[in-house]
């Protein structure tokens, strides 16, 4: 297939490395191939700049990686002997070299119990999804030949995600692939084929054998996509969310009714996450959006007049996140961040509903600290009504709060500076004893600076004082 060869040649970073790999393959007579996500991403976007390079060889992957590193001028590789793979940290990208292999698994572990060397076709067969089971030859005799035994390119075009082999086997061998299915569906806007989804439902409990660190990493990857709700919804429909993040799962089907929200708690939350993703690329903020209503199921009460209420869910949620963060292996900084935003996410709403004092705004600024802007972004993301008038009203409210925040910050910053002329100089100049009069004169200087009458400059302040003295004479 000449198209893929042209694509490689057009990608400056990839083509230069591919040429070196092809030369090495020829020298040591070990077949090499470009595989996996690298091929997939090139097919989706031939001009992609940031791309990690996955190489598969029919032979010793670690030995090949070392020889390739030598040719590229890289001093050290990172080998993984158990998996017959190695990583080469090269400039702005990472090259991974793996031996073509077949793997067998024990029921209680996702780590392979045995690894045997194989050829390209066998290696592609064991891959997680068909869209990742494509390869390109980097060998001199057939350089650029496209290898696609499971029609992964067709799946990319048709927006379908499915496994090369029978899905029960694929997911049972490595249960993390089920969470990765949700990630790829979200990242690539693919629809999981029905057979795969049913298999995920059958095998969802096997996710328990996967380490929490790996699960959390995949969850963050889902949150990092353009539309995280796709992946999060799949986790719920597949029965995985119960094991991945149970506090989110139990939101499903719990109705809520108030002026802000019209969906059940789960789908309201997913919409908030998507809104946050549209407003910010910060994954931690998207996580805060996911957990901001984490305590609503616990605090949900039915009021005959008001409908469902969730009094105190901000405070209860903040307290819940301590244990949740420990279980989910969130970093301490991440824990503190999402806890703060959860605890404060109702405050701007309350401030928007009435005329408030500077002190109330100031308390919010102090409590939110450096996260004040992210907090306001979360509040905007929390608007999920479809009523255009209500959207305009709520956004207008937050605009006013943000305006007040800026005003108070400016006032406080202006008040923070001190007169460039010291009190003892004022006393000497006006022949005064220590007392209120000295403070009044200092205030006159500060007000003159605030009002732009003089610069915050020592000589201009002295001239201003001299003018005051002359007026007093």
Q: Is residue 415 very low, low, confident or very high in pLDDT (cuts 50, 70, 90)? A: low
Helix (H) or strand (E) holding 469: helix 458-472
**At 251, is the secondary structure helix, strand, or coil?**
coil
**What are the phi and psi torsion angles at 116 (to 5°)?**
-125, 140
How large is the average pLDDT for residues 184-199? 96
How large is the average pLDDT for residues 240-256? 94
CB atoms within 10 A of CB 390: 13
Domain termination site, one of 201, 217, 244: 244
Residues 281 and 372 in one domain: yes
What pLDDT is recorded for position 2? 45
What pLDDT is recorded for position 258? 54
**Structural domain includes residue 315:** yes
Residues 304 and 339 in one domain: yes
What residues pair up with 136 in beta bridges, in sequence order? Answer: 34, 146
What pLDDT is recorded for position 201? 97
The closest alpha carbon to 317, from 348, 296, 290, belongs to 296
Helix (H) or strand (E) holding 217: helix 212-223
**Structural domain includes residue 252:** no
> Which of 368 and 108 is assigned the larger pLDDT?
368
**Structural domain includes residue 124:** yes
**Structural domain includes residue 250:** no
**Structural domain includes residue 359:** yes
Per the structure, the complete domain to which residue 196 belongs is given by 159-244
Chain mean pLDDT for the chain: 88
Residues 207 and 196 in one domain: yes
How large is the average pLDDT for residues 203-228? 97
User: Which CATH number is 306's domain given?
Assistant: 1.10.3210
pLDDT digit string, tens, across residues 55-101: 999 999 999 999 999 999 998 999 998 888 999 998 878 899 999 97
Q: Is residue 1 very low, low, confident or very high in pLDDT (cuts 50, 70, 90)? A: very low
pLDDT of residue 108 exceeding 70: no
What pLDDT is recorded for position 270? 97
The region of weakest confidence among 176-180, 232-236, 464-468 is 464-468
What pLDDT is recorded for position 241? 98
pLDDT of residue 115 exceeding 90: no
pLDDT of residue 110 exceeding 80: no
Residues 388 and 450 in one domain: no
pLDDT of residue 102 exceeding 80: no
**Structural domain includes residue 417:** no
pLDDT of residue 471 exceeding 60: yes
Number of structural domains found in the chain: 4
pLDDT of residue 473 exceeding 50: yes
User: Which CATH number is 148's domain given?
Assistant: 3.30.460.10
Residues 432 and 394 in one domain: no
**Structural domain includes residue 413:** no
Give the up-direction half-sphere exposure of residue 297: CA atoms within 13 A in the CB hemisphere. 17
Residues 278 and 326 in one domain: yes
pLDDT of residue 104 exceeding 70: no
- Straight-line distance from the first to the last Cα atom of the chain, in angstroms, rounded to the nearest whole number: 96
What pLDDT is recorded for position 138? 93
3-state secondary structure 354-391: CCCCHHHHHHHHHHHHHHHHHHHHHHHHCCCCCCHHHH
Domain termination site, one of 125, 157, 189: 157
What's the rounded Cα separation, in Å, for the pair 150 and 165? 9
User: Which CATH number is 175's domain given?
Assistant: 1.10.110.30
Range of 44-58, 220-234, 337-351 with top mean pLDDT: 220-234
Q: Is residue 354 very low, low, confident or very high in pLDDT (cuts 50, 70, 90)? A: low
Residues 136 and 240 in one domain: no
Residues 235 and 289 in one domain: no
Which pair of tokens denotes residue 377?
């972004």
Assess contact for 51 and 42: CB atoms under 8 A.
yes
pLDDT digit string, tens, across residues 440-456: 888 888 788 767 788 77
Residues 96 and 214 in one domain: no
Residues 365 and 343 in one domain: yes
pTM attached to this predicted model: 0.83
What's the rounded Cα separation, in Å, for the pair 308 and 394? 21
Domain termination site, one of 104, 134, 157: 157
> Which of 318 and 306 is assigned the larger pLDDT?
318
Residues 312 and 387 in one domain: yes
Residues 97 and 110 in one domain: yes
**Structural domain includes residue 183:** yes
């Amino acid at each position: 297939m000449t198209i893929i060869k042209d694509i490689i040649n057009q990608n400056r970073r990839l083509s230069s490395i591919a040429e070196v790999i092809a030369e090495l393959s020829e020298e040591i007579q070990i077949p090499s191939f470009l595989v996996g996500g690298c091929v997939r991403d090139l097919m989706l976007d031939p001009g992609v700049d940031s791309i990690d390079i996955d190489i598969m060889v029919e032979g010793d992957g670690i030995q090949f990686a070392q020889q390739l590193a030598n040719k590229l001028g890289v001093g050290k590789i990172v080998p993984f002997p158990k998996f017959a793979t190695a990583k080469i940290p090269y400039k702005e990208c990472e090259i991974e070299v793996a031996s073509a292999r077949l793997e067998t698994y024990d029921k209680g572990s996702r780590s392979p119990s045995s690894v045997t060397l194989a050829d390209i076709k066998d290696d592609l067969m064991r891959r997680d999804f068909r869209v990742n089971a494509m390869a390109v030859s980097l060998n001199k005799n057939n350089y650029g030949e496209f290898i696609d035994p499971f029609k992964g390119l067709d799946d990319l075009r048709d927006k379908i995600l499915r496994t090369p082999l029978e899905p029960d086997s694929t997911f049972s061998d490595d249960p993390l692939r089920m969470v990765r299915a949700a990630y790829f569906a979200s990242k690539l806007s693919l629809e999981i084929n029905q057979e795969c989804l049913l298999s995920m439902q059958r095998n969802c409990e096997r996710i328990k054998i996967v380490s929490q660190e790996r699960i959390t990493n995949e969850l963050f990857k889902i949150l990092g996509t353009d539309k995280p709700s796709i992946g999060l919804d799949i986790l719920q429909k597949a029965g995985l969310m119960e094991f991945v993040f149970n506090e989110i799962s139990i939101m499903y089907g719990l109705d809520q009714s108030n002026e802000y929200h019209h969906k059940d708690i789960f789908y309201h939350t997913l919409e908030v996450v998507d809104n946050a993703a549209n407003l910010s690329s910060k994954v931690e903020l998207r996580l805060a959006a996911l957990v901001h209503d984490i305590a609503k199921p616990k605090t949900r009460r039915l009021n005959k007049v008001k409908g469902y209420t969730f009094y105190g869910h901000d405070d209860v949620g903040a307290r819940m996140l301590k244990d949740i963060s420990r279980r989910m292996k969130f970093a301490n900084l991440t824990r503190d961040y999402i806890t703060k935003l959860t605890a404060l996410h109702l405050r701007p709403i309350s401030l928007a509903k009435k005329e408030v004092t500077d002190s109330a705004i100031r308390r919010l600024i102090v409590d939110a600290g450096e996260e004040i802007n992210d907090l306001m972004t979360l509040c905007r993301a929390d608007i999920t009504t479809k009523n255009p008038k209500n959207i305009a009203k709520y956004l207008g409210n937050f605009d006013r709060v943000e305006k007040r925040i800026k005003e108070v910050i400016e006032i406080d910053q202006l008040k923070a500076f001190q007169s460039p002329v010291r009190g003892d100089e004022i006393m000497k100049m006006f022949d005064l004893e220590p007392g209120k009069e000295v403070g009044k004169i200092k205030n006159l200087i500060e007000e003159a600076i605030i009002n732009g009458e003089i610069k915050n400059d020592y000589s201009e302040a002295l001239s201003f004082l001299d003018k005051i003295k002359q007026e007093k004479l």
